[in-house]
Amino acid sequence: METRYEIREKIGQGGLGAVFRAYDTRMNREVAIKRIPLTTDDPALQEESTRQLVKEAGALASLQHPNIVTIYDVESDANGPFVVMELISGKTLNELIQEAPLTWPDFRELALQTQEGLIAAHELKMIHSDIKPSNLMLSWLPSGKFQTKIVDFGLATLIHAQSHEALESSDSVFGSIFFMAPEQFERALLDCRADLYAMGCVYYQALTCIEPFQGTTVEAVIDAHLEHRVIPLQDLRADIPVWACEWIMWLINRMRTDRPASARDALQLFLQNDQNQHPTLSLGKARTRSGTGPRSRLATPAAPPSPRLAPPREEVPQDPTLRLFKITAPQPLLPPEGSKPSLYGAALESPIPTATSAIHHPAGAHAIPIKVKKDSRNSLRITFAAAGIVMLALAGSHLSKRIDQHRQSQRHGLLLDQARSSNTKEIILSGPELNRFLNEAANADTEEMQKTIFRLLTIAKPADATNFDSYLTEFASTSTQLLPEARKTLILSVIGKRSNRAMVPSLLDFARKTKDVSSGVAALQVLSPFSGDEQLPDLLAVVQFHPNPALKKAAEEVLVETLKRSKQRTAFAKQLAQAIDGTTDLKTRKTLIKLQSASTDG
């Protein structure tokens, strides 16, 4: 590794090892490197295990798909085996749903992409066995559309097999207990339907921010899976097609024979149901059904509806400790701050069509709860200790996040105190910190707080590669949070004082297009000392055609100052003459004649 890969920084730690940002000197690209931990203390056994893992993991590199992270190489050095893969700049699904569940359009896109990835992997007989929200990475394409990639595909099963002599002799539970299929707790051989179950649990949480199977202890969560104690999705989340809710419940059936046989089958039925332009929508509350006989499979839309009534929903005894939350209003997934506007924005935010008389083919995806036999439950006791370790790790991760949030809060207060001091000449900020202060300035409760933040932004310097001036100008130009007075102040007091000549084109473009006249005038005032010959045609267009007199006047003043510095006054005078000949408005014509005079002076 020393000769080819340069380790830059550690970017993650998980159950499958540590992840580092690195640079591939041979291919001239950034990559992610995952160090694989080994569990044996026997050097000879470790060497053989490493050799076998590298050999078998090399097969994962054949898994090339836009919705699965690409593995470039698998090697080993003195520190053990490591996997080289593509570096994804984005966020995990787990991070994105911390604040709010997904909208239906975003979820639909997520479901399509992840099922496509599962199909590709399962076709090659590769099972993930550790699917969870933190193993789904979302990044944004230049068009503004998000792309989902499943990470660590195949590594979980492979590393688990390397760490134990045989599955039957293993007393441990591998994976996250909130998303594991029942057969994983029973230590049965796994197939693709375990991944479908886990992905169904992910979908459920993405739409509700709640795990489908819950409990206050590890044992309670496992029992919830084994006894299939789950609230139907349509009883928790409103405004989702009922067929989609039942499709997800189909994926998380207790018995794997009641789930889709493959990801291909699951996606096919999803696409068929999605053709209905006026689906019945969920209400987010329990509904009474009548009839007899449960069904384990979602109905195909093309099939004629059954003459009998919909099957009943089995009454499942609910764990009294089950967590019930009010679902937060869904929020669309948007490109990161500073990105160009999404071409798909309208589609992402479009309302879901409603219909009260749409035909719906009930699925009855809710499976009969399976009562775990005493012997079976006793055989599971041995797994709880290892699963407890998983829970402790989750608790430790949560505590680490809380500590990190506390540190960020302390630093935030310290930075504000520094900004209040007139002796502070420079403050170093990261990109996320800049974004946080901008949002706080837009929503400041007091004028004094807004003033403090604007002073901080005026003297801020980047701690990373973020272009602060471009970011500030983009925020001032596009943010819907800013009130007109705050926008004007941000332009004059922050962007203007930072005096970055590179921002002139953006400020001029904003001034030409904005309906906020006072902010547009402020932008022209800020760019005036730095405008050059390349801005003359655009300034002339504002003077000629802009409907607002105040902006026309401000552009005229900038034009005069620019002409004083111009080396192309003669050529511009000819352009002005043509503009005068083509102008019928007397007031505008008079202004252009004044400008023509200024272009010939000196």
- The CATH number of residue 557's host domain is 1.25.10
Looking at the structure, tell me whether residues 208 and 266 fall in a common domain: yes
Looking at the structure, tell me whether residues 334 and 240 fall in a common domain: yes
Task: Confirm if 299 and 192 have CB atoms less than 8 A apart.
Answer: no
Domain-embedded: residue 387:
no
CA distance 349 to 334: 10
Q: What is the DSSP letter of 65?
A: B
Closest residue by Cα to residue 106 from 232, 245, 203: 203
pLDDT of residue 445: 72
Domain-embedded: residue 407:
no
pLDDT of residue 324: 47
Residue 159 structure tokens: 């590393």
What CATH number did the domain enclosing 192 receive?
1.10.510.10
Question: Strands 29-35, 71-77: parallel, antiparallel or unpaired by DSSP?
Answer: unpaired
Question: Strands 80-86, 17-24: parallel, antiparallel or unpaired by DSSP?
Answer: unpaired
**b/e for 209-237, b at 16 or more Cβ within 10 A?**
bbbbbbbeebbebbbbbbbbbbbbbbebb
Query: Of 23, 55, 86, at which residue does a domain stop?
Result: 86
Looking at the structure, tell me whether residues 364 and 263 fall in a common domain: yes
CA distance 193 to 251: 8
Task: Confirm if 244 and 280 have CB atoms less than 8 A apart.
Answer: no
Query: Of 341, 372, 403, at which residue does a domain stop?
Result: 372
Q: How confident is the prediction for the chain on average, in pLDDT?
A: 78
Is residue 234 predicted with pLDDT exceeding 90? yes
Looking at the structure, tell me whether residues 333 and 279 fall in a common domain: yes
Least confident of 11-15, 30-34, 134-138, 401-405: 401-405
Question: Strands 460-462, 427-429: parallel, antiparallel or unpaired by DSSP?
Answer: parallel
Looking at the structure, tell me whether residues 108 and 247 fall in a common domain: yes
Q: Which residues contact 295 (CB under 8 A, 6 or more apart)?
A: 311, 363, 364, 365
Looking at the structure, tell me whether residues 246 and 299 fall in a common domain: yes
Name residue, tokens 């940002």.
Answer: 21
Task: Confirm if 52 and 38 have CB atoms less than 8 A apart.
Answer: no
Domain-embedded: residue 33:
yes
Looking at the structure, tell me whether residues 99 and 81 fall in a common domain: no
pLDDT tens figures, 295-340: 334 444 443 333 333 333 333 344 444 444 556 678 888 777 776 6
Looking at the structure, tell me whether residues 38 and 113 fall in a common domain: no
Looking at the structure, tell me whether residues 329 and 444 fall in a common domain: no
Looking at the structure, tell me whether residues 347 and 275 fall in a common domain: yes
Domain-embedded: residue 378:
no
What CATH number did the domain enclosing 49 receive?
3.30.200.20
CA distance 77 to 80: 5
Domain-embedded: residue 391:
no
Looking at the structure, tell me whether residues 146 and 282 fall in a common domain: yes
The backbone torsions φ and ψ at residue 226, rounded to the nearest 5 degrees and listed phi first, read -70, -30
359 falls in which pLDDT band (50, 70, 90)? very low
**How many Cβ atoms sit within 10 Å of the Cβ of residue 533?**
15
CA distance 84 to 68: 14
Q: Which range, 45-49, 216-220, 241-245, 336-340, is most confident?
A: 241-245
Domain-embedded: residue 136:
yes
> Does the model's pTM come out above 0.85?
no
**b/e for 92-107, b at 16 or more Cβ within 10 A?**
bbeebbeeebbbbbbb
Domain-embedded: residue 100:
yes
CA distance 559 to 538: 10
Give me the helix-helix angle, 104-123 and 242-251, nearest 10°: 30
Query: Of 372, 406, 426, at which residue does a domain stop?
Result: 372
Domain-embedded: residue 380:
no
Range of the domain at 520: 415-600
Overall domain count for the chain: 3
Q: What is the DSSP letter of 133?
A: G
Looking at the structure, tell me whether residues 97 and 64 fall in a common domain: no
